[in-house]
Structure 1
């Protein structure tokens, strides 16, 4: 056949402008299910329903993919955190917002808790990933500092992180009244 490139119909490249985003989203799901240690190019490609070759086309290696995935995750959590605190009009509203963040309004799912701790563990071992956690902490503290002085914001941020760890690892449900008491004490409010 003339003009058909040697007898075979020319293949057109599949137009898939969302492929990179799907890979990043799939990477988060694979991490949530298998952990960072169990995350591979093959598993992510299968979860994203893309050819394995797409992995190396879009990402130079697993570190770049993990940075993109955890960067997206940290940014989405920071945005929810910022929105919740931005809605607070008074000091009491801000304290309630912090308590609500702790009891699950921002880290509302087991998936989010698992991803958070996978990121923490990776950042503890690999200094390159601390840029992701440090950017996340800066955003959290900036949101808190809209309502609290710098020292109180730092302590509240540590309380949020600590109680989030307890939630991820604990076997007993958290008492929202106790959380509110802790926030009020740290924020210098009378009981």
Structure 2
């Protein structure tokens, strides 16, 4: 199956960002890596911020699709909070930190420097929050919206820690503590 020029450009951009950081990405390097003409990059992406936005949004779209499929495979199976936390840990550990998986961390940091990238980063975090709300709703948490962004940030932070140290983190314990706290807090709010 042939991949479109645009898709090859985006994939190469993610690879190069994950390998050399945003500063190491040039149109010439992308063209060489993607095996496309230099002009095709500016045809599809008039500016570097356009290309960086597309790279970030493409990664998140693929990642949320993958995570939705995992969530769907466990729908209506009566998964406990502890089992859900263990699943989150297994999903995180199964991910090898390839250049393409390191790239989003670079792009989120770049969004802090580049206002043109912030809207894309915001859409990406919103997609993770939305998926997390759906999963937490399935688990029966009392107020999944209230805990989703904290849970997403915790998982992202623990993944960053794992990436930067090369070591594991006890993600399942952290996720379980957050979920149990959300249940207790939700129960307390319903009683008052």
**Smaller-chain TM-score bracket:** 0.7 to 0.9
Give the number of the structure whose alpha-carbon radius of gyration is greater. Answer: 1
Which segments of 5 or more consecutive residues in structure 2 lack a partner in the other structure?
184-192
Which whole-Å CA distance do the structure 1 matches of 2:176 and 2:3 have between them? 48
Choose 46-55 or 84-93, whichever is displaced more.
84-93
Asked if 1:115 corresponds to 2:107, the answer is: no
Structure number with higher helix proportion: 2
Which segments of 5 or more consecutive residues in structure 1 lack a partner in the other structure?
1-15
Pairing partner for 1:96 from 86, 93, 104: 86
**Offset from partner CA, 1:83-131 (integer Å, 9 cap, x none):** 2223333342433332333x334x4323244212111111111122122
Choose 24-33 or 115-124, whichever is displaced more.
24-33
> CA-atom RMSD, angstroms?
2.4
Give the conservation status (yes or no) of the 8 Å contact 2:9–2:34.
Answer: yes
Give the superposition deviation at 1:58: 2.1
Pairing partner for 1:33 from 5, 19, 24: 19
Which whole-Å CA distance do the structure 2 matches of 1:20 and 1:179 have between them? 36
Choose 58-67 or 32-41, whichever is displaced more.
58-67
Which whole-Å CA distance do the structure 2 matches of 1:36 and 1:94 have between them? 35
Matching residue of 1:65: 51
Give the superposition deviation at 1:25: 1.6
Q: TM-score scaled by structure 1?
A: 0.77
Choose 36-45 or 145-154, whichever is displaced more.
145-154
Which whole-Å CA distance do the structure 1 matches of 2:16 and 2:114 have between them? 20
Which whole-Å CA distance do the structure 2 matches of 1:90 and 1:128 have between them? 42
Matching residue of 2:186: none
Would the alpha carbon gap of residues 23 and 33 (structure 1) be closer, same or farther in structure 2, given more than 3 Å must change? same
Give the superposition deviation at 1:186: 0.9
Give the superposition deviation at 1:61: 1.9
Asked if 1:137 corresponds to 2:131, the answer is: no
**Larger relative contact order (Cα-Cα within 8 Å, sequence gap ≥ 6):** 2
Which whole-Å CA distance do the structure 1 matches of 2:8 and 2:101 have between them? 21
Which whole-Å CA distance do the structure 2 matches of 1:155 and 1:17 have between them? 37
